[in-house]
């Protein structure tokens, strides 16, 4: 029976709505539309370059209701994918977008396998359609993210990663670049953040003959995108002056506009406060996941030597290579002579080149390899023929290199650089003093005697390591601080009051507040006596005496020749050494037999901090031994302003002398004559002018017309 006034075959949106409500009742109509789709598709396949709006509408209709008739529309995705695979590049852009959107609808309804549709979309990245490529990139990232939302599908991810490996090698530069972007975005979203994805980018992307893919892969290991975004965010967001806005709102007249502006400023202030509280996120773990960092560094260095890319791309190569060398402690001795060629004050981005040299320095590199770099910096930067800024940058770069490889510095060169500590320019002076401070901690023997300073307890305990030697600790550093308030029981005591503890637990030590209140009194008295003797030694010994003591320790003959006069001092030193050895043994036993609490670690940290300031500087040396060298640490230049506030005010006051009075000048010849009402109005209180100002409200157009008409009539009557 044919329904009267049936408009469903022509009104697809209405039919789509009815089918979703009651699929069984409109099964015949859907079959009719599906047969119509097949016929239109055969016609369109003959000439795929032309747009067919009827086919466009019916494809979107079937994609919307395909889940209601899964058996009928089972071959529907295959028809679309076959057409896209065969003639994707020659299809009309509108029809191609229609096919893609229909497949995405089917994929969202789980009517199409994920692997088949994603492989097709990766192939469509070769099309010369920027909007389509951007749309596909967004969908691919979101689809893979949704698939791994609850649990990671390792089998599917592995298949897609293998396919992506081939796409990065694609001859089409746009497809390869888009594939690299997708992999990097998935890594940043913590979806494909495994070692396989990183090594695919490292082995294929970083050695791609396509420059855009190469640059994208290098930036991935440098993390430039995150830094640039953070920089743009900080530049785009102005500082919020909430205090000033509140004061202005309190003083000014209350209006709706000002209230709205104040609410916006409050929201910005709350947002800025939350942003400050958030911990900074640093994502440099990709460079740690590389399986063969030595091979990658050698390959990048070989590619750098034979490439003709722009200077910016070469800098990226140098940055990645230096990070690989510094983090993984690699040996690439040819890198250092190569980077020395760029160390000239007039070189572009020379501070970054110095940064790369510092990043590529580590303790396992022999000092003979890095020493030519230090000499090049000294010859090209740290000379008085250059400006003070250039000299300061050279000294800062030398400090950063020596911080990571202190054995590279020679004694003669260090003493020559230390002489700039009294230079006339403060920037050079501060940079030289920072280098001296570094070697006071690392290798004080390389410095001149007057530059070594008074030795601290921490420096005395620190052992100078030879090349390749590792500092292995067998106890908790600073655990001696817990010995003062700890009580140990001698198990082998012969006192009658002590019971036998065979086979029982022994209370080895007491924390603060545990045990008797009088425990440790004898130890405290011994510590006080020891501290008094140490203070006397520190007060009596100056720099020359300390040097003589060092010579006396190194030479046994000197000690014997001094006779009885030096024997008390030697006895004191021997007793102090024995006492220190006993303290270390007791601290080691304490660390092995006791679980330290948070309070214990606080006391240990406080004691270690005290050692760094005892008998020396007022504050401890802060050494930044991070994985990456900050550019600010090299470009940090101390500048003294030519004029402070007081001197500037004196200059201003001196310039005002013998000059006419500044300010607004009226045109009166006689200063005592009267002023006009307009001039008097400027000095009157607003309350006196409120009535007059109220009459000067803005008139409507009709009121202006009436006033003008009245004025013209008045002039006409006057004539």
Angle CA 100–104–106, to nearest 5: 115
Which stretch of DSSP H or E encloses residue 539? helix 521-540
C-alpha to C-alpha distance for 215 and 221, rounded to whole angstroms = 10
Q: What is the dihedral of CA 135, 136, 141, 143, to 10 degrees?
A: 110
Residue 518: strand, helix, or coil: coil
* Backbone φ and ψ of 491, nearest 5°: -70, -30
410 and 336 fall within a common domain: yes
Q: Between 311-328 and 211-222, two packed helices, what is the crossing angle to 10 degrees?
A: 40
Angle CA 212–216–219, to nearest 5: 140
199 and 258 fall within a common domain: no
Q: Provide DSSP, 436-456.
A: HHHHHHS-GGGS-GGGS-PPP
**8 A C-beta contact, residue 458 and residue 611:** yes
Which stretch of DSSP H or E encloses residue 591? helix 567-593
Question: Does a structural domain hold residue 285?
Answer: no
| Residue 244 confidence (pLDDT) | 80
55 and 159 fall within a common domain: yes
The residue with tokens 């497809």 is 175
| Residue 625 confidence (pLDDT) | 58
247 and 351 fall within a common domain: no
Helices (H), 644-685: 645-656, 677-681
* Backbone φ and ψ of 541, nearest 5°: -90, 130
Its sign, for the CA torsion 595, 599, 600, 604, is positive
Among 159, 181, 205, residue at a domain's last position: 205
Q: For residue 260, what are the domain limits?
A: 242-271
Any idea what DSSP says for residue 345? T
Question: Does a structural domain hold residue 530?
Answer: no
C-alpha to C-alpha distance for 141 and 55, rounded to whole angstroms = 29
163 and 252 fall within a common domain: no
The alpha carbon of 471 is separated from its chain's Cα centroid by a whole number of angstroms, namely: 29
Residue 656: strand, helix, or coil: helix
Residue 513: strand, helix, or coil: coil
Among 183, 205, 227, residue at a domain's last position: 205
Question: Does a structural domain hold residue 706?
Answer: no
Q: Provide DSSP, 82-147.
A: HHHHHHTTTS-HHHHHHHHHHHHHHHHTT-S-HHHHHHHHHHHTTSS-HHHHHHHHHHHHHHHHHH
**8 A C-beta contact, residue 359 and residue 326:** yes
Please tell me the number of Cα atoms within 13 Å of 537 on its side-chain side: 17
Residue 27: strand, helix, or coil: helix
C-alpha to C-alpha distance for 59 and 41, rounded to whole angstroms = 10
pLDDT digits over 386-402, tens only? 999 999 999 999 999 99
58 and 188 fall within a common domain: yes
445 and 331 fall within a common domain: yes
251 and 180 fall within a common domain: no
| Low-confidence stretches of the chain (pLDDT beneath 50) | 1-2, 225-236, 280-283, 487-566, 616-624
Question: Does a structural domain hold residue 545?
Answer: no
Its sign, for the CA torsion 433, 435, 437, 440, is negative
Question: Does a structural domain hold residue 79?
Answer: yes
Which stretch of DSSP H or E encloses residue 314? helix 311-328
59 and 152 fall within a common domain: yes
First CA to last CA distance, the chain: 94
Q: Provide DSSP, 464-506.
A: PP-TT-----SS-TTGGGGSTT-----TT---SSSPP-TTS--
The residue with tokens 């302003």 is 641
Among 432, 453, 474, residue at a domain's last position: 453
CATH classification of the domain holding 361: 1.25.10.10
Question: Does a structural domain hold residue 568?
Answer: no
Number of separate domains in the chain: 4
**8 A C-beta contact, residue 400 and residue 629:** yes
* Backbone φ and ψ of 94, nearest 5°: -65, -40
Q: What is the dihedral of CA 72, 78, 84, 86, to 10 degrees?
A: -130
CA distances from 180 to 155, 567, 687 (A): 21, 75, 71
310 and 257 fall within a common domain: no
| Residue 72 confidence (pLDDT) | 87
Structure tokens at 654: 């001196």
pLDDT digits over 128-150, tens only? 888 888 899 899 888 888 888 87
Query: Among residues 60, 142, 50, 159, which one has the least CA distance to residue 94?
Result: 50
pLDDT digits over 520-579, tens only? 344 444 444 444 434 444 344 444 444 444 343 444 444 344 444 446 666 666 666 676
135 and 196 fall within a common domain: yes
C-alpha to C-alpha distance for 465 and 441, rounded to whole angstroms = 12
The residue with tokens 């004025």 is 711
The residue with tokens 């079959």 is 31
Any idea what DSSP says for residue 286? G
CA distances from 55 to 40, 45, 138 (A): 6, 11, 26
C-alpha to C-alpha distance for 251 and 704, rounded to whole angstroms = 35
Its sign, for the CA torsion 346, 347, 352, 356, is negative
327 and 408 fall within a common domain: yes
HEC per residue, 353-387: HHHHHHHCCCCCCCHHHHHHHHHHHHHHCCCCCCC
Question: Does a structural domain hold residue 627?
Answer: no
- b/e burial code for range 180-191 (CB count within 10 A of at least 16 → b): bbbbbbbbbeeb
**8 A C-beta contact, residue 215 and residue 316:** yes
Question: Does a structural domain hold residue 350?
Answer: yes
Its sign, for the CA torsion 698, 699, 700, 705, is negative
**8 A C-beta contact, residue 164 and residue 179:** yes
Query: Among residues 365, 436, 453, which one has the least CA distance to residue 404?
Result: 365
* Residues recorded for the chain: 719
Cβ count near 545 (within 10 Å)? 12
């Amino acid at each position: 029976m044919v329904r009267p006034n049936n408009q469903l075959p022509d009104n697809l949106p209405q039919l789509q709505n009815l089918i979703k409500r009651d699929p069984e009742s409109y099964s015949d109509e859907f079959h009719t539309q599906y047969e119509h789709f097949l016929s239109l598709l055969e016609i369109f396949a003959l000439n795929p370059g032309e747009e067919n709006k009827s086919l466009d509408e019916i494809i979107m209709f079937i994609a919307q209701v395909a889940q209601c008739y899964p058996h009928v529309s089972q071959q529907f995705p295959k028809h679309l994918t076959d057409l896209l695979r065969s003639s994707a590049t020659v299809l009309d852009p509108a029809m191609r977008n229609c096919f893609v959107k229909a497949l995405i609808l089917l994929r969202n309804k789980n009517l199409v396998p994920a692997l088949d549709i994603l492989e097709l979309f990766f192939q469509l990245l070769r099309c010369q359609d920027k909007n389509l490529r951007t749309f596909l990139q967004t969908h691919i990232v979101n689809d893979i993210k949704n698939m791994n939302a609850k649990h990671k599908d390792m089998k599917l991810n592995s298949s897609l990663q293998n396919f992506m490996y081939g796409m990065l090698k694609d001859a089409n530069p746009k497809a390869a670049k888009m594939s690299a972007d997708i992999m990097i975005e998935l890594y940043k979203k913590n979806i494909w953040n495994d070692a396989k994805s990183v090594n695919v980018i490292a082995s294929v992307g970083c050695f791609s003959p396509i420059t855009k893919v190469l640059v994208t892969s290098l930036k991935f290991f440098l993390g430039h995108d995150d830094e640039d975004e953070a920089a743009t965010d900080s530049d785009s967001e102005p500082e919020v002056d909430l205090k000033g806005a509140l004061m202005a709102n309190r003083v000014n007249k209350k209006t709706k506009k000002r209230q709205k502006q104040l609410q916006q400023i409050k929201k910005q202030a709350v947002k800025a406060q939350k942003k400050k509280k958030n911990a900074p996120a640093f994502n440099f773990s990709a460079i740690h996941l590389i399986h063969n960092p030595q091979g990658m560094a050698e390959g990048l260095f070989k590619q750098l030597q034979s490439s003709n890319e722009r200077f910016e791309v070469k800098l990226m190569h140098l940055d990645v290579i230096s990070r690989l060398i510094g983090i993984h402690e690699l040996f690439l001795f040819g890198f250092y002579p190569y980077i020395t060629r760029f160390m000239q004050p007039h070189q572009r981005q020379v501070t970054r080149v110095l940064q790369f040299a510092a990043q590529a320095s580590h303790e396992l590199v022999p000092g003979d390899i890095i020493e030519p770099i230090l000499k090049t910096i000294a010859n090209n930067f740290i000379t008085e023929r250059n400006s003070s800024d250039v000299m300061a940058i050279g000294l800062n770069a030398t400090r950063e290199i020596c911080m990571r490889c202190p054995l590279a510095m020679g004694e003669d060169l260090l003493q020559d650089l230390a002489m700039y500590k009294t230079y006339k320019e403060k920037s050079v002076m501060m940079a030289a003093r920072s280098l001296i401070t570094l070697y006071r901690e690392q290798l004080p023997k390389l410095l001149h005697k007057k530059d070594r300073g008074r030795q601290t307890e921490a420096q005395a305990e620190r052992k100078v390591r030879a090349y390749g030697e590792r500092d292995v600790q067998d106890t908790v550093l600073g655990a001696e601080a817990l010995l003062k308030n700890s009580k140990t029981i001698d198990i082998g005591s012969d006192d009658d009051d002590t019971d036998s503890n065979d086979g029982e637990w022994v209370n080895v030590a007491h924390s603060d507040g545990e045990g008797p209140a009088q425990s440790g009194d004898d130890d405290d008295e011994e510590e006080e006596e020891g501290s008094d003797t140490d203070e006397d030694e520190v007060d009596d010994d100056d720099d020359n005496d300390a040097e003589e003591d060092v010579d006396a320790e190194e030479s046994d003959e000197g000690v014997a020749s001094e006779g009885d006069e030096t024997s008390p001092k030697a006895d004191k030193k021997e007793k102090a050494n024995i006492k220190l050895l006993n303290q270390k043994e007791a601290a080691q036993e304490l660390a092995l037999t006791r679980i330290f609490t948070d309070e214990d670690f606080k006391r240990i940290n406080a004691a270690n901090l005290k050692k760094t300031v005892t008998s020396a500087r007022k504050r401890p040396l802060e050494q930044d031994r991070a994985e990456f060298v900050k550019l600010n640490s090299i470009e940090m230049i101390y500048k003294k302003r030519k004029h402070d506030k007081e001197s500037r005010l004196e200059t201003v006051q001196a310039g005002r002398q013998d000059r006419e009075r500044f300010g607004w000048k009226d045109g009166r010849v006689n200063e005592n004559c009267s002023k006009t009402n307009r001039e008097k109005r400027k000095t009157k209180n607003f309350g006196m002018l409120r009535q007059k100002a109220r009459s000067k409200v803005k008139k409507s157009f009709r009121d202006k017309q009436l006033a003008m008409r009245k004025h013209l009539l008045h002039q006409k009557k006057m004539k």
